A and B are shown apart, each in its own frame.
Chain A
Amino acid sequence: MLAYVLHLADNALVAGHRNSEWTGHGPILEQDIALSNIALDLVGQARNLYQYAATIANDGSTEDSFAYLRDAREYKNCLLVEQPNGDWAQTITRQYFFSAFQQLYYAALKGSADKTLASIADKSLKEVHYHNKWSAEWIIRLGDGTEESHRRMNLAVNKLYQYTGELFEAAHYESELVKENIAVDLRTIKEDYYENINKVISTASLPLPGNTFMQTGGKTGLHTEHLGYLLAEMQFLQRAYPNANW
């Protein structure tokens, strides 16, 4: 159960942290704020989940120790969210692929037998609806925009599509919980997911990626090289100055 809650929290934290890297660097003030808002929403979701994980662990762990004092191998986020920001096209594609997933996932998690997870899902869902709408809108505009924006969007979609497969692979800690009706059965949302994202990709007049090899491993701690750098930056302060406080 702890591993499962940490997995959900890590997804939100890493996705949020990646977006926060844009703060102050956005292409235009309004979008800088938009992406920072999304980052804050995601870090907020992560906090709720880490706090719940701390009560489950009941060993003195806190939301901060989970976020700042675990190494990459202990992180259980999917590979998609740790991918680097790249250009704007890659960032919004990563966000869209993830938000489209979170939207279906949280909608299903609302029905979880675990009341705390169900209420966190319920609270987060409105935020995710907006993330989904915002990022889909960008994909359509840029895919269907100029020659240059189309080219970049096409690259981004092809680059990140290979990380969508892992979203639907149940880790060992999930399968048990699915039987107890606590975790979401990923098979029930997979079809809708691909239908949704394929629709947006085609509306953006981008070619659908073919049957690609799907990368996997993040949910069980086997990450791409990128997560290590992300954690090094995010955890630096707590590692260098343990228990530093505001």
Chain B
Amino acid sequence: MQNNDWPLWEIFIRSKRGLDHKHVGSLHAADARTAIENARDVYTRRMEGVSIWVVESKNIHASNPEEAGDLFDPATDKAYRHPTFYDLPDDLKNM
């Protein structure tokens, strides 16, 4: 069956006090420009943001949940990777 729907886009919004764009959801749009306009209308009605990124969903590649064990488990017993084993000089502030 032919799919006549507009493609799906993932929407990222940066809030006034945030430095990063956060994923807020997805919507349909004909192209990037209308995706931004739709995002403005759907996701920023209550002053949520000051900047919008849109990425067509098909361009996002995800890790496979079945491989989660191989990917993430080996990190669990390597506490030495956390920078908590250093003595900081007293003069050093803001660390």
Contacts and interface: CB of A to CB of B under 8 A. Distances in A.
B45 A30 contact: no
A28 B37 CA distance: 14
Contacts of A28: 6, 28
Contacts of A170: none
Contacts of A141: 30
B24 interface: no
Contact of A37 (B27, B29, B30, B41): B41
Interface string A129-163: 00000100100010000000000000000000000
Interface of chain A, main secondary structure = helix
A27 to B, nearest CB: 11
A37 B41 CA distance: 7
A29 B38 CA distance: 10
B71 interface: no
Interface string B1-36: 000001000000000000000000001111001100
Interface string A25-36: 000111101100
Among the interface residues B6, B28, B37, which one has the most CB atoms of the partner chain A within 10 A?
Answer: B37
Interface in A15-64: 28-31, 33-34, 37
A31 B6 CA distance: 12
A234 to B, nearest CB: 23
A225 B19 CA distance: 54
Contacts of B42: 29-30, 33
Contacts of B45: 33, 37
Nearest to A36: B41
B28 to A, nearest CB: 6
Nearest to A37: B41
B37 A134 contact: yes
A203 B42 CA distance: 28
Interface string B59-76: 000000000000000000
Interface in A167-219: none
A137 B37 contact: yes
A9 B33 CA distance: 32
A33 B27 CA distance: 12
A29 B30 CA distance: 13
B38 to A, nearest CB: 4
A30 B36 CA distance: 11
A34 B42 CA distance: 7
Given A31-B38, A137-B33, 10 more contacts: A28-B6, A28-B28, A30-B27, A30-B28, A30-B38, A33-B41, A33-B42, A34-B37, A34-B38, A34-B41
What 5 A-B pairs have minimum CB-CB distances, sorted nearest first?
A30-B38, A34-B41, A33-B41, A30-B27, A37-B41
22 contacts: A28-B6, A28-B28, A29-B27, A29-B42, A30-B27, A30-B28, A30-B29, A30-B38, A30-B41, A30-B42, A31-B38, A33-B41, A33-B42, A33-B45, A34-B37, A34-B38, A34-B41, A37-B41, A37-B45, A134-B37, A137-B33, A141-B30
